[in-house]
Chain A
């Protein structure tokens, strides 16, 4: 609660007391005797006092209480003036207005002051106009009203100003007091906290001292156990574990140490196993290297044989190409000859036609001769007839005529035979012409087939040329494969040298790991000698084996391989060698 509110609480009680004191004054006036109506004076005064008191009861310092009490004081002052109606003291009783107004100002609020002043002014103005005797004794005038009003306004203004000043001062004071109390509270809280912290610090220090002593003892035990463990570790004993439990969080240190020792032991065991596996792998690698070396030699032989076979194929293809070229030329010649034979056939046909024409002319001539022979025979008959008529004189003539007749007969017969021959010749000429035509057709067909053959031969020649080029490329690829094979052999040699270094280091690793004592043991089956069957040192044996393999692969015996007879036996040998190692090759 603020100072202003405290002040108003005390003021409220005083003002309520003043209200009831006013009622006492009214009662005293009533007892003394007055013109005013006693019921109004006492009853009204009581009503005003009760109403304002109830208001105060409900809200001791509320705005309504402040205003209502101001109004109540003004009303009771008016009642007091009314009670003194007809008395010479009535004008003096007006002083009660100003006293009550001053008391109202103790609310430190402008509202009750204004309410008091307003009610007083309204009351006076109304009574001045309606019932002057109720407020002023004797005669009254406006000047008196104005004088009272001026005094009232002056006092009210002064009291409002004073209330404002006091209110601000109290608010500032409250703020300052609030800050002071807050600071004091904070200081007190901090002091308490400091005292508690000091007490806790002392208690904590004692507890820590006790714990430190216990921790030192435990620490000595822990250091001793850890020292033993580290000493065992330095001596290579990885099987040591700290059995005694540590207290508190340090137990985790023991667990971690044991876990670390376990991890190291497991790791060293794993490294041992790995080194053993490396040795075992060395034997396998040597075996595989030998197999690889053998296969590379076989590969080199096969490559040489393949190269020789391709060379022969190249030569054969070239020969075939040359022969195809020659065949092309022959075919071209045949094609030319076929063209020429067509001309010959035409000429033959022409000659046959001419022969046929000549035969026809001969036949015509023969027909003429036959006609002449017939006429001659006829004449000879007539001459015989005439000779017979002539008798003996005509006997000679008859003989001549007979001779002529025989000659004519013979001529006719010869002409018939010639005609038959000519007909036969004509038939044969026709047959010859037909045959020559057929011969021409056949020759033309032969020419066309020759052309087709020529085209095919040209294609064969081109294909043979391409085959020759492709075979040359295959030969070139085979040569590159051969070079790559040689490079592989060289690389395997380098790998063998690197493997030797690896095996030496693996051997050194195994020897070093032997210094550690662990619960792990290398299985007997992992021994290289058991795997490879060689009784020498496993790494040395593997290195030597790889050296030999690398040497053979780096410089294969190409002389023997290349010079080996190339043929079915050699190929069969290679094939059988490859077949014999098919399983190994798949594994490789």
Chain B
């Protein structure tokens, strides 16, 4: 049966809207999947960036603590002081055992990063 032009137009519009909704939904779903993959990859790469390796770790303590706290934390954890930075609450420690990280956290460190990241923080004189 022949439908009126207006009705057919409305049906077409509804179909187009449904198609558009489906496409948007599919695109949103794809975007979420891609985002998930990208998040996993970014997390892995970021972990590779910040996890200490090669026996050196950048130890960060509270910025409101005393100036010698970072040295005490490294010492309490059983590590050695490798290099200072321009910030009093940051220092590069050298370690041999992997449980050093846990000991640092127990001793009062609030963040432990790869020691190589400290290159931006090391003063020119120390270099």
Contacts and interface: CB of A to CB of B under 8 A. Distances in A.
- A interacts with B: yes
B116 A131 contact: yes
A82 interface: yes
B34 to A, nearest CB: 5
A157 interface: no
Interface SS of B by simple majority: helix
B33 A68 contact: yes
Contacts of A63: 30
A442 to B, nearest CB: 111
A52 interface: yes
Contact of B37 (A36, A68, A85): A68
Given A64-B33, A68-B37, A44 B51 contact: no
Interface in B88-112: none
Interface SS of A by simple majority: helix
Contacts, number: 92
A71 interface: yes
Interface stretch (A72-80, A347-355, A506-514): A72-80
B45, B51, B116 pick with most chain A CB within 10 angstroms: B45
Interface residues of B, number: 25
Contacts of A580: none
Interface string B40-66: 110111011101111000000000000
Contacts of B29: 64
A101 interface: no
Contact of B48 (A37, A67, A86, A119): A37
A36 B45 CA distance: 12
Given A79-B44, A130-B120, A36 B53 contact: yes
A67 B52 CA distance: 31
Interface in A116-146: 119, 123, 126-127, 130-131, 133-134
B45 A78 contact: yes
B41 A48 contact: yes
Given A36-B53, A64-B29, A131-B117, A52 B48 contact: no
Interface in A6-51: 35-37, 39-41, 43-45, 47-48, 51
10 contacts: A44-B44, A44-B47, A48-B37, A55-B33, A67-B30, A71-B37, A75-B40, A78-B45, A115-B34, A123-B45
Of all A-B residue pairs in the complex, the 4 with the closest CB atoms, nearest first, are A44-B44, A75-B41, A68-B37, A64-B33
Interface of B: 29-31, 33-34, 36-38, 40-41, 43-45, 47-49, 51-54, 114, 116-117, 119-120
